[in-house]
Amino acid sequence: MAVNQERPLAAGPGLGERIIDVTKRFFDSDIWYSFTRSPVIIVSAVITLIFVGASAFAPLVAPNNPFDLTTIDLLDSFIPPIWQDGGDARFLLGTDDQGRGILSTIIYGSRISLGVGFASVLFAMVLGISLGLISGYFGGTIDAIIMRAADVQLTFPAILIALLIDGLARAVLPRDFHSEVWFYVLVLAIGLSFWVQYARTVRGSAMVERNKEYVQAARVIGIPPFLIMLRHVLPNVMGPVLVIATINLAIAVITEATLSFLGVGVPLTSPSLGTLIRVGNDFPFSGEWWITIFPGVALAVLVLAVNLLGDWLRDALNPKLR
C-alpha cells in the first residue's frame, strides 16, 4: 500500500529525502511487524548475518588461513573432525586433501562466494536498471535493440559466458592480472546472465509511468529525461528490484558453485564454497565424508536463508497480499 501510492502531479521530493522517508516508514511499517512475528525469518536473517559477518572478518574469525601456503602441510591432510578418532584440536571440522582446515576453508570460501554473489548482483542491477529505464522510457528502436540483446543474452548459458570471458580476459589483460582475473570473470559472467530480469521489470514500469500525467507534465516543463526517470520511475520499481536482487543473490551463489564445480570458476588455491564441493565430490566413496558434507551443508544453509528472506520480502512488499 505504501509503495504504490499515487504520485503528486508536481515533481516529488529529492532522492535523499525519499530514502529517509522510506526508512522511517520501514520501521513503522507492516514489514517490520511481519519480520518480528516470524521466527523462521528471524533465524534466516541471523544466519545470513553470521555468514556475512564471518566472511567480512574471515582473517579474525577463521582458526587458520587456508590461502597461506606456507602454513599448510600436506601431511595434515585427511584429518577427521575433532569428535572422531584421529581428530586434531587445530582443525575443528577436519582437514581436506591438502591439509587445510575445513572450517577455515568454509569461512574463507563463503567470503569468496558472497563476494562474487554481491558483486555480480550489483553489477546486474546497475546494468539492468539502466538499460530497462532507457528501454522503457524511450521505446521504439532503442527498446527493440535492448530487448533483442536480452534475447541474445538468454541464449548463452552462464558457463559459456564464463569460459568466453575468461579466455578473452587472459588474452587481453597483461599477465600480472591473471591470477586475480577469475573474480571479475565470474562477476561478469553471472552478472550478465541476470541483468535481463531487472531490465524487463524496470522497462515495464517505465512504460507505464512514462504515460502518466505527472511525467508528461515534468517533460513539458523541461526537466531532462534522465532526472525524470531517476525521480519518478526508479522509486516505483525499487520494491520488485530488491526482491529480485535477494533471490538473485541466492542464485548467484549457486551459479558460482556450479561454475566452480564444472571447473571454470574459482581456482583450487583460493576455494569458494562451490570449489570446495567440487573437491569434496571426489571423496564421496572414500570415507572422508567431512570434505563433502560440511561445505555442501554450508552452501545449502546460506542459500536457503537468503531465499527465505527474499521470499518473505516479496510477500511483505506486495501490498496486495496484506
Site for other proteins in 119-158 (CB under 8 A): 144, 148-152, 154-157
Chain-centre distance for alpha carbon 241: 13
Closest separation in Å from C-beta 43 to other proteins: 12
Left (φ > 0), alpha (ψ -120 to 50) or beta: where does 8 sit?
A: beta
Is 175 among the residues that bind other proteins (CB under 8 A)? yes
Chosen residue from 24, 25, 90, 170 binding other proteins by CB under 8 A: 170
Which of 1, 10, 89, 171 is in the footprint of other proteins by CB under 8 A?
Answer: 171
Cβ nearer to other proteins, comparing 11 with 34:
34
| Minimal distance, residue 205 CB to other proteins, in Å | 7
Residue placing its CB nearer to other proteins in the complex, 74 or 220: 74
Closer residue to other proteins (CB): 27 or 175: 175
Residue with Cβ nearer other proteins (55 or 270): 270
Specify the 3-state DSSP secondary structure of 88.
strand
For the segment 27-46, give every residue that binds other proteins (CB under 8 A): 40
The answer to whether 89 contacts other proteins (rule: CB under 8 A) is: no
User: Which residue, 98 or 120, has its beta carbon nearer to other proteins?
Assistant: 98
**Distance between CA 118 and CA 200 in Å, rounded?**
21
Q: How far is the CB of 8 from other proteins (least distance, A)?
A: 23
By the rule CB under 8 A, 115 interacts with other proteins: no
- C-alpha R_g of the chain: 23
146-154: long-range contacts, CB 8 A cutoff, minimum separation 24: 146/199, 146/203, 147/203, 150/196, 150/199, 150/200, 153/192, 153/193, 153/195, 153/196, 154/196
Separate counts of helices (H) and strands (E) for the chain? 14, 0
| SS3 state of residue 91 | strand
Whole-Å CA distances, 126 to 120, 123, 191, 202, 263: 10, 5, 10, 11, 28
Segment interacting with other proteins (CB under 8 A) among 19-27, 91-99, 105-113, 214-222? 91-99
Q: In the window 202-261, what residues touch other proteins (CB under 8 A)?
A: 203-205, 207-208, 240, 244, 247, 250, 254, 257-258, 261
Provide the minimum distance between the beta carbon of 221 and other proteins in the complex, in angstroms, as a whole number. 27
> Of the two residues 107 and 303, which places its CB atom closer to other proteins in the complex?
303
Is 81 or 239 the residue whose CB approaches other proteins more closely?
239
83 DSSP assignment: T
Q: Can you say whether the dihedral through the CA atoms of 161, 177, 184, 234 is positive or negative? A: negative
